[in-house]
Amino acid sequence: MQTYQIPGTNKEFVEVEGPFDKCIDALVREKAELTSCVQLADARIKLGANHRVSTTGSWTGENFNYLLNDDILVAKARYNLILKFSKIATDWHGRWSEFYLDKATLEQLQDLAEENPADAIKSGVLLLKRKDIQPINTSNPDSNKLGVFLFENQLKPYCGFCKAEGIGEIGVNTRYADSDCNAEGIRPFDYETFCREWQLAQMDVETKYVTWPFARTLWVYDLGWSESTLDGDADGNLDPCMRDPDGIGGRVFGLRDVSDLSGKV
């Protein structure tokens, strides 16, 4: 675990690496909360492009909830079900399964969803059509609904920061494309593609199909070759062994108030 003081504040970032659920447990012990895109952007600007917070990727508190009609509900941390059930979600992803939404959560997200990003910031849930998701142009970011929702008042400063590092646009990755849909309209878990990409031996497993809305937590990439890409797929897994077979893979940054540590044992 590493800590990084945020200049000009009484806040610090806590860095934890490992499986997602273990990272979340560690943040709780350290009295830190998983950072949002707003907080991560602010810290990167204050710490600089060469700081570790900027040169590494991490999960954030926001998540993408995928509906079978190609709608995507992007939610703030307070409505991210994966944070509430991090161990279950990590275990399911480790078994190449999705983390499905229960009916009550799905209905809550749909009730809260707003298409206008300003309204969505207040409600906590943004409704996007897959076809409307576009990279964030760092020269003209205000028209990007996803960017406005995720970065709020840090959108322009962060895009200016990225532009100064030679990043013309911030990419967005989502789980499944229209072409991945089979004849029955059911989206398959792309197990074969997964094995091919990671050069894993094919295993004798039954093909799994996505038949219900599911969730994935957002991963924000580094400022280097990944150019701060927003990954709503996160390489398909919360388990770092799946994300990166040759390394620890998983990482979170938690934000905490240094003054709250006086009573910490």
Residue ranges per domain, the chain?
A: 2-261
pLDDT tens-digit series, residues 183-207? 444 444 444 554 454 444 444 444 4
Q: How confident is the model at residue 90 (pLDDT cuts 50, 70, 90)?
A: confident
pLDDT for 96 equals 67
- Tokens describing residue 89: 């979600």
* Cα separation, 166 vs 67, whole angstroms: 35
Give the amino acid at 55: T
pLDDT for 36 equals 97
Residue with the bigger pLDDT between 171 and 199: it is 171
* pLDDT at residue 209 is higher than 70: no
Residue with the bigger pLDDT between 10 and 225: it is 10
pLDDT for 240 equals 52
Residue with the bigger pLDDT between 194 and 241: it is 241
pLDDT for 191 equals 47
